[in-house]
Amino acid sequence: MEHQEPERLSPAQLAAIRRSFRSGRAAMTRRSLLRASAGGALTVGGLGALSACGIPAAGQAKGGTSAEDHSAKEKTVDFSNWTEYMDVDDSGKRHPTLDAFTKRTGIKVKYTEDINDNSEFFAKIKPQLAAGQDTGRDIIVLTDWMAARLIRLGWVQKLDASNLPHAYANLSEQFRSPDWDPGRAYSYPWQGISTVIAYNKKALDGVEVKSVSDLLDNPRLKGRVGFLTEMRDSIGMTLLDMGKDPANFTDDDYDAAIARLQKGVDNGQIRRFTGNDYTSDITSGDFAACIAWAGDVVQLKADSPDVDFVIPDSGYMTSSDNMLVPNKARHKTNAERLMDYYYEPEPAAELAAYINYVCPVDGVQAALAKIDKDAADNPLIIPDKAMQAKSHAFRSLSTKEETAYEAKFAKLTGA
């Protein structure tokens, strides 16, 4: 297989990565970190190495490289995931669903929480993947834009559908066919991430907020509005409000969205662009309303009676963290069996009850209701058909587009 030379990251792309480390979704959205949202930040370890090596340009998908599958003889699977992204029961026992999988199948799971940021983790595994070597991992979990990059580079394996009957049958419609992996040939979602509008009822003081236009245009909210430092979320929500499709937009559309947000910066309507630190602003009332991640809002609502959310009529943004099998993985069949296990309703429900992100599994609501009825009834965790129909994904970007778009967004946010 012919490997592409890496290209260096632009200053704007490096700035975007620093935002992600410092305060973006990668830094603090996992459940246990939400409680500490008002203080602290992750260390930017590994950023120097990342900027030195660059991220390879994404080419056309070439198909992954398999290795001899040792699943039958080696009853094990190596699973790398983000921190605090697996269930813990009420007694504090960690990862009971993994224990149940091992008890049923005899396959032991080596579970490692060694992913803190997409780009940092990519830099960690890139040398082995580029050299055609085993990373020592059978499952990795990456956010959609990075999953797309690995697929295009030909660094992950095509999945065997015969080992994924529950995943094939139960995958929610809104996640079935992203433009970067049509039909889910190479990936299955671990969890979904929705972007909505959060507001503080007390701080609004009777002002009605139903749309991004309300955030940007209502003078009573001047200086009390927040947007996110994640480009795809803030621009995506703005494009939707402008009647544009984030899955199919032009350079002119992007520039118009930038201009709209720039006006909000210039006239003082937008207080600031944030990562997860908006959680302290919205609970304190410093923000009357802001663009927010649904996983955070679920927890904020539980902790503060003043916080609530709205789904704009124009729609909302959805992304996903995705399970993939990297090239040369030794236990591909075992990995597929574990992936499929989390598309059975009961394990999926246990996971959703703890994580509070968007569950990508259809038919999980009844099982979740037995564990946590409020979670089962929460549309931020189990979207109904009407809410699913309002979800939109940001289209895949070429390397040239990503460089240009991030530069414009960095200028807007002052990064």
- Looking at residue 93, what is its pLDDT? 84
Q: Is the pLDDT of residue 333 over 80?
A: yes
Say what the pTM is.
0.81
Tokens encoding 2? 């012919």
Residue 162 has pLDDT above 90, yes or no: yes
pLDDT recorded at residue 64: 65
Report the range of poorest mean pLDDT among 25-39, 286-300, 389-403. 25-39
Q: Comparing 40-44, 72-76, 199-203, which segment has the lowest mean pLDDT?
A: 40-44
The amino acid present at 233, given as its one-letter code, is D
Note the pLDDT tens digit of each residue in 362-378.
Answer: 999 999 999 999 999 99
Tokens found for residue 280? 């302290």
Q: Which positions ≥6 away from 35 have C-beta within 8 Å?
A: none
Average pLDDT rounded to a whole number, residues 97-110: 98
Residue 9: its pLDDT value, please?
54
Identify whether the C-beta of residue 23 lies closer than 8 Å to the C-beta of residue 43: no
Q: In whole angstroms, give the CA distance from residue 87 to residue 348.
A: 10
Half-sphere exposure of 166 (CA within 13 A, CB side): 18
Distance from chain centroid for Cα 408: 22
Asked if the model's pLDDT at residue 178 lies above 60, the reply is yes
Segment (H or E) for 298: helix 294-303
- Per-residue pLDDT of 46-57, as tens digits, reads 333 333 333 344
pLDDT of residue 11: 52
Q: Distance between the two ends of the chain, CA-based, in angstroms?
A: 38
Computed over every residue of the chain, the mean pLDDT equals 87
Interatomic CA distance for residues 17 and 11, integer angstroms: 10
Instruction: With cut-offs at 50, 70 and 90, classify the pLDDT of residue 15.
Output: very low
Q: Which of 7, 91, 16 is nearest to 54 (CA)?
A: 7
pLDDT of 276: 80
Q: Quick one: pLDDT at residue 26?
A: 42
DSSP β-bridge partners for residue 55 = 7
Contacts of 387 (CB under 8 A, 6+ apart): 311, 379
pLDDT tens-digit profile of 180-230? 999 999 999 999 999 999 999 999 999 999 999 999 999 999 999 999 999
SS3 call for 222? coil
